[in-house]
Amino acid sequence: MFSDSQNFTVSGGTFTTITKNYAAAHPDFRTLPLGEIDLQQKLSLKGGTLLTLWRPENRSIRQLYSARIRGQKSKVTVAMYQGNGAEKTWSHDVAKYMALRHPNILQIYGTASMGEIHATVFHEDLTPLRDFLPLYRPSHWVNAYLFSVIVSQSLTAARDYFHEAFEHVLYEEECTFFMRRPTGRLCLDLTPGDAGKWMHTFQPSAMCPPRELDLLDTQNIERTALEFLTFDQYHEVVYRKLSRFLCIPAPSLDKVKLGSVLDCSAGRAFEDMYELAWLPKAEIRLDGPPWTIFHAAPGTLMENGWTRFPVSDASNTQISLWLLAADTQSWLSQANFVFHQLQEPSIDAEDCILLDAVHIELVITEPAAEVPEGYLFLCPLGDFRNDTESPVSLDWPQCPAYWSLNPSGSDRLSEKAATDVGFSTIQSSSICAWGKYWDANVYAHLYQFHQAKGFDPQSRDLARHLEHELYQLSEDRLTRREFISPDNLFES
């Protein structure tokens, strides 16, 4: 996020690159002798030292430790920097944290430096969130409450503060997540970590987080969660945090039916699956992420919905697009109804895959000759809908991408004309359907939650109450497994 930045604005002031002397001796923060810092334990996630940040551009390493400062009782967290270029990285990070002060973002306490070894000391002994969660793994309701209340509010507060200070949207992929035990709040390290790969944005909760994490250990947590979590809060946790993912290479785009639920008990190849249920009015989320190029600036979104990239970013590369299904969270309000209607004991919950996204990659080949100034235009997300059949159907647009010499895109070049003037060819690379699935324990807790709220989980009353699109049982499923009479499918 801040890599190699020279100037950035914080609350109306402009900060420039900070030197070693400023980082090591700022009057508002302690300058510590390195020998007074006792490194006691390397902070790492289960299965590896994933809190080590290797910077190949300057061959430096940043590693987090739990530590003590001589003469102090409480522990602290220390970031150690070593290697060629470590001083520059350290000074840059110190400047970043000096410009921020928020309870949900790591707060700098002091610095230390000796030779080629540099350190930043942060308040409190922090616990990586991903190591903290297994402490409560036996309790489904503690995890649900923690994510919906503590993580939700803390992440939202940090993002709001950061946006106000920097006028920059803070994405999960830019952070590593910790828990501050004394306050029970999420705390962000503004350095990328693997946590960003699994942390998702939550909607703000209406409840206040507890002051102490010990409250999560009370016998009343199940009652508290069942009583105070709303349907939206609980379904969000189940959908985002308790699901697992499956990537399924698809033979063609028209074979993917977003929002459908597939049975993969016969195998996890796309051709081995068959449909259990589907949403008649499933739609593509038109507010989903646009076309992206890895390590390139975002494209320009045109007024007509097309995305434009300059030729300098769009040659010899891969371009990615996610098509996301809208409203697939409605599956959670009626999954137990569908399972009850199917009435087949042999169905394993983990074999039921909810298709909620498609990932498409285009390959832009290396140009054969000198490339002229020009632009690549990529079609709007809605062009992938096949409206001749139903909104849920997908198909390749007649023109997913084209080259143009004009920044407005008005002079659309044919494939032959584009290659004649030196532009790269555009090729389809891969299509992967992405699905979510849950184990039987999660569905059992959904059943319990809906029942505690006064709804029959084996009916569609809750789905109607929440005004969700209603799932229909697939004809394919009914014809292949004659275990239920079509006359009583939708009595509830």
pLDDT digits (tens, 9 = 90+) for 253-305: 888 889 999 998 877 788 888 899 998 888 888 766 789 987 788 899 999 99
Secondary structure class of 440 (helix, strand, coil)? helix
C-alpha to C-alpha distance for 428 and 92, rounded to whole angstroms: 41
pLDDT of 271? 82
Better pLDDT: 41 or 491: 41
Q: What b-and-e string marks burial along 430-445, b requiring 16 or more CB atoms within 10 Å of the CB?
A: ebbbbbbbbeeebbeb
Percent of the chain at pLDDT above 90? 35
* pLDDT at 8 > cutoff 60: no
Query: In the structure, what pLDDT confidence band is assigned to residue 315 with cuts at 50, 70 and 90?
Result: confident
Percent of the chain at pLDDT above 70? 76
247 bridge partner residues: 434
C-alpha to C-alpha distance for 259 and 283, rounded to whole angstroms: 8
C-alpha to C-alpha distance for 117 and 80, rounded to whole angstroms: 7
pLDDT of 117? 93
191: tokens are 């350095």
For residues 53 and 43, the answer to whether their CB atoms sit within 8 Å is: no
284: tokens are 């593509």
pLDDT digits (tens, 9 = 90+) for 74-119: 899 999 998 888 888 899 889 889 988 998 899 999 999 998 899 9
pTM above 0.85, yes or no: no
Average pLDDT, the chain: 79
For residues 312 and 385, the answer to whether their CB atoms sit within 8 Å is: no
Residue 459 C-alpha from the chain's centroid? 32
pLDDT of 203? 35
Averaged pLDDT for residues 223-230: 82
pLDDT of 479? 46
Secondary structure class of 479 (helix, strand, coil)? helix
Averaged pLDDT for residues 390-399: 77
378: tokens are 């990529």
Non-local CB neighbours of 273 within 8 Å, separated by 6+ positions: 248, 262, 263, 264, 266, 267, 353
CATH says 7-125 is which class? Answer: alpha beta
pLDDT of 290? 83
Query: In the structure, what pLDDT confidence band is assigned to residue 204 with cuts at 50, 70 and 90?
Result: very low
Q: What b-and-e string marks burial along 66-105, b requiring 16 or more CB atoms within 10 Å of the CB?
A: bbbbeeeeebbbbbbbbbeebbbbbbbbbbbbbbbeeebb
pLDDT digits (tens, 9 = 90+) for 442-491: 999 999 999 999 999 999 999 999 999 999 998 765 544 433 333 333 33
User: Which of 480, 454, 451 lies closest to 336, judged by CA?
Assistant: 451
